[in-house]
Amino acid sequence: DAGVIQSPRHEVTEMGQEVTLRCKPISGHNSLFWYRQTMMRGLELLIYFNNNVPIDDSGMPEDRFSAKMPNASFSTLKIQPSEPRDSAVYFCASSLTGDTLSSYNSPLHFGNGTRLTVT
């Protein structure tokens, strides 16, 4: 299995531009998570989906951020317009969850992240 695939690995953009990060979860996984990591704030959950439906987006910083999961094999995180404070490493993770109990057992599999720099 190729694991969780994120693209691009690195993104450098200017303030005000739109940025789209992409994630392909592990085939068969039905939960998908977007995290952001900075030195100041560590790893923060932005949003997670279950069966392609957003379950909790309380971590999304503001309206400039949006995430979609049009099908089970693809998700995007969009920032529009981007700002320098959005510079971070963004991770996508997936897991297989069934009933409630298994949700707390199933490990998350993370991608290698997208390093975003907004100048």
Interacting residues toward another protein by CB under 8 A: 4, 31, 33, 35, 42-45, 48, 50, 55-56, 91, 93, 95, 97, 100, 103-105, 107-113
Any alpha helices (H) in the chain, and if so which ranges? Answer: 100-103
CB-nearer residue toward another protein: 17 or 33: 33
Q: Which residues contact 4 (CB under 8 A, 6 or more apart)?
A: 23, 24, 25, 26, 92, 93, 94, 109, 110, 111
Rank residues 20 and 108 by Cβ distance to another protein and give the closer one: 108
Residue 15 Cβ, how far from another protein at the closest point, in Å? 25
Q: What share of the chain is helix, strand, coil (3-state, %, to 5)?
A: 5, 50, 40
- Quote the least distance from Cβ 93 to another protein, whole Å: 7
Cβ at position 41, least distance to another protein in Å? 10
Identity of the residue, 82 or 97, whose beta carbon is nearer to another protein in the bound complex: 97
Considering beta carbons, is residue 31 or 75 the nearer one to another protein?
31
Quick one: which H or E segment has residue 45? strand 42-50
